[in-house]
Amino acid sequence: MRKDFIETLLRGLYSAVLYLLLPITVYHLIWRGFRVREYFRRWDERYASYPQSAGEPRVWLHAVSVGEVNAAAPLVNALRERHPDIRWIITTITPTGSQRVRALWGEAVEHVYLPYDVPDSVNRFLGHFKPSLALILETELWPNLLFGCRDRGIPLYILNARLSARSLKGYRLLRPLIARALHGVTCVAAQSREDARRFIALGARAEQVRALGNLKFEIHPPDPTAVLQAFRAHVPSSRKVWIAASTHEGEEQAVVDIHARVLAQHPDALLLWAPRHPERFARAEALAREQGWHVATRGAQQWPTADARVFVIDTLGELMQFYACAQVAFVGGSLQAIGGHNLLEPAAMGTAVVTGPHLHNFSEISRRMNEAGALRVQPDADGVAGEVLQLLDDAATRERMVEAGQQLVTNGRGALERTLALIEPRLP
């Protein structure tokens, strides 16, 4: 009885705070909308207001943004192939995640934005789509959503679950509530034993948690032949080419400074630059032009021009193929305390990988790559610049890193089959 009372009290307090903060979400959407116009659209979905009846139940998968959608893609594709009659509802939070869902599956799956975690919105969402199975990717621990699935008897799996030491510490105040919400989860399928231990420390029961491996290793690189041939028709193989991928606002000046050092030694070197967020495409181009460099973009010129020193990849969904065009890749989100981005994609495409020190979102992957000799980690931008320069001039070291990275990706596979075996018995 006391346990039920405490849960009711905690849920009530948590929900009351969210209701008080709800008006701020409008200002947040407006503020984001001035930077990314898509945030001005589809507000009804974010508050779980749907104009039409949803019809029959669906399998629901939530992937917050592009990285999680990409991680979920092999799983969704395998399930769609094995069970073609299942209807899917896939939710994201970001517009780029939404665009990635559409790029992968078009109208074959339904997509809406995940509503805010207030009880009314959660109840409308679950009541509208009537999911028969819920699959949540990585670290989306929204208490009312988890409780809502439990209260409706919806089996819920947290797949490819990860929880860094930093995130575990950040959940301290909400731990009593999160722990109770986790008790209603069918299974937490963790990326690693360390992630599994942290979920148990957060409050999940040991029997609920299994370490199945990381779905990101299930990457199957696209064939880059066509892109590489077209690229080489414009950029001879004698030019030094490096790529700065998934960079954030606070890293952009560092990218410019690194490229200035590269050009000092290799005057015809080319930087491929793919900012993480579309709203930063124009700013990256402007920063490069401010240095007096000739700049081409994927959207305008399609390919680098002969005099270009920077080529901005201002499109979505093409980054992996452009990794194959570079000799060295710097993966952003790592010079700031963001936690890094996917390191396996450049490794799988045959590119030597360099990062900054902030890798808490990819701690297991970065550790394994580092131990295998497939990754160079530097403490700051100056170190990254030195590493990029060294690797551009050292083909033998690059080749060893590439071989180690591709072998690691191959050896790391297996999480997909283990995950399928876990959830298939619960499919409708």
Give catalytic residue positions.
Answer: 68
DSSP 8-class letter at 107:
G
Helix (H) or strand (E) holding 102: helix 95-105
User: Are the C-beta atoms of residues 272 and 296 closer than 8 Å to each other?
Assistant: no
Give the tokens for residue 86.
């299942």
Classify residue 147 as exposed, middle or buried by CB count within 10 Å of its CB (0-12, 13-18, 19+). Answer: buried
Q: Residue 49 and residue 19: Cα distance in Å, rounded?
A: 16
Q: Residue 203 and residue 417: Cα distance in Å, rounded?
A: 27
Give the tokens for residue 293.
């460099």
269 closest CA partner among 300, 233, 230, 308: 308
Helix (H) or strand (E) holding 421: helix 415-423
Q: Residue 317 and residue 344: Cα distance in Å, rounded?
A: 16
Residue that has been written with the tokens 């209260």 in this structure: 151
Spacing of C-alpha 253 from chain mean position: 23
Q: In whole angstroms, how far apart are CA 84 and each of 63, 76, 80, 104, 424?
A: 21, 11, 5, 16, 13
